[in-house]
Amino acid sequence: MTTDEATKNEGEVQTAALAEQGEDITPNQDRGVLKIVKRPGNEEKSPMIGDKVYVHYKGKLANGKKFDSSRDRNEPFIFSLGKGQVIKAWDIGVATMKKGEICHLLCKPEYAYGSAGSVPKIPSNATLFFEIELLDFKGEDLFEDGGIIRRIKRKGEGYSNPNEGATVEIHLEGFYGGRIFDCRDVTFIVGEGEDHDIPIGIDKALEKMQREEYCILYLGPRYGFGDAGKPKFGIKANAELVYEVTLKSFEKAKESWEMDTKEKLEQAAIVKEKGTVYFKESKYMQAVIQYGKIVSWLEMEYGLSERESKEAESFLLAAFLNLAMCYLKLREYIKAVECCDKALGLDQVNEKGLYRRGEARLLMNEFELAKCDFQKVLDVNPQNKAAKTQITVCQKKMKEHNERDRRIYANMFKKFAERDAKEASRAVGESEVEKATCEEGLKAPVTEGKV
């Protein structure tokens, strides 16, 4: 029997076994995806929609011919479950697996590559066989900073999401320290959840949810109740929280292009006041949302009358300055500098803009640039005592930084010198040994008959 014949026989046996013994895991029970577990997993949990999953796999045609293998590449395959990044059979099959499990899947064409196939390896209307090992899975990191992890228990409807300012109706359950601390239906405006004792992480996550979606959210302290905690719920400072959230319905807020200039200016006054209230309560992320609305509405607004232009510029200047202050509090110094630059673009001698940019640069260890900003503050207002103090701080920091650099370089050069001295000493020693050996050779008598 040839190798091809053996491969064909093996493929036919595996396909027949799956067809006869495999479990139908399709939602419609149409036997389009059949599964056999070859090695059970070592955990009870399975991946959810949106999870990032890590697998090894081998793919074969029904005749046993291998067309792909991650093991041959010695590299796991990674994809987001239930997002249409892989064939339908995989989204169905991997969702049933446990971590560490190895299974076989038999996939009919309509759950694989259909009539189109995948040229040149997979022909039209091909039934495919897969061996899959689920190595690991983890929740979806919504903002790629580890602060909000989402795991979708039920996929939502459609493709529309709430936006900032949308009115949402949700059901939520909050968990902390092994207990449930909040359970209710609530209607509120996205970006203003804090007014209803809802942490900012819920507001942020809702902008990525669809109607009727049911998900679990893991919130880090930054997206929870932060340094203040929430005594009302018995939650300590910097606590990690878990919420289960269902988005029951929502009504989008007007987008910028749906509002005329008059409405934008009226709304700018309202959200500016809301932002200031949040800022005074040390709710800086919520304040950022409010001030950010002013920028989104007015920064690219054209064709204004002289009065409207002055009013819009005043709102924008206040928004950029207040955003810079929020970002300083949030320790996002690069964003603070960017907002100050925008403010100074509107008013190049703005005292607050120069001072706050100097603060951000000082905290980024850009001492020379910070000193320049504080000096410009004094050029605008020679009586600004805070700027004078900050210049002294910059000079002190620059001196400390230079002295530290000198020590580092001195130690570095000392080590280089010691290494060079050792190498030179070793070279001298080897030279002396070589010279002595040579002299010994010259002194030695030549034996008769030998050269």
Calpha distance 13→3 (Å, rounded): 15
Rounded CA-CA distance 255/253 in Å is 6
Active site members: 57, 67-68, 87, 113, 130
Q: Which residue has the tokens 């796999």?
A: 57
Nearest to 104 by CA among 150, 159, 163, 64: 64
Q: Extract the tokens encoding 416.
A: 């280089």
β-sheet with 241-251: strand ranges across: 140-141, 148-154, 214-219, 241-251, 167-176, 179-189
Q: Rounded distance, CA 185 to CA 396, Å?
A: 55
Q: In the numeric block, which tokens belong to residue 340? A: 């100050």
Task: Tell me the C-alpha distance between 127 and 89, whole Å.
Answer: 11
Distance CA 440, CA 435 (A): 9
Residue 199 neighbours by CB distance under 10 Å: 26
Percent of the chain as helix, strand, coil, to the nearest 5? 50, 20, 30
State the burial class of residue 27 (Cβ atoms within 10 Å of its Cβ: 0-12, 13-18, 19+). exposed
Distance CA 62, CA 302 (A): 63
| Residues facing residue 235 across a β-bridge | 230
The tokens for 280 are 């005074």
The DSSP letter of residue 60 is: E
- Calculate the dihedral angle through the C-alpha atoms of 320, 325, 327, 330, rounding to the nearest 10 degrees: -160
**Pair of tokens at residue 201:** 């992480």
Q: Cα–Cα distance between 321 and 342 in angstroms, integer?
A: 9
Phi, psi of 251 (to 5 degrees): -125, 120
Enumerate residues 6+ apart whose C-beta is below 8 A from 90.
79, 105, 130, 132
Residue 297's alpha-carbon distances to 135, 256, 263, in angstroms, are 47, 5, 10
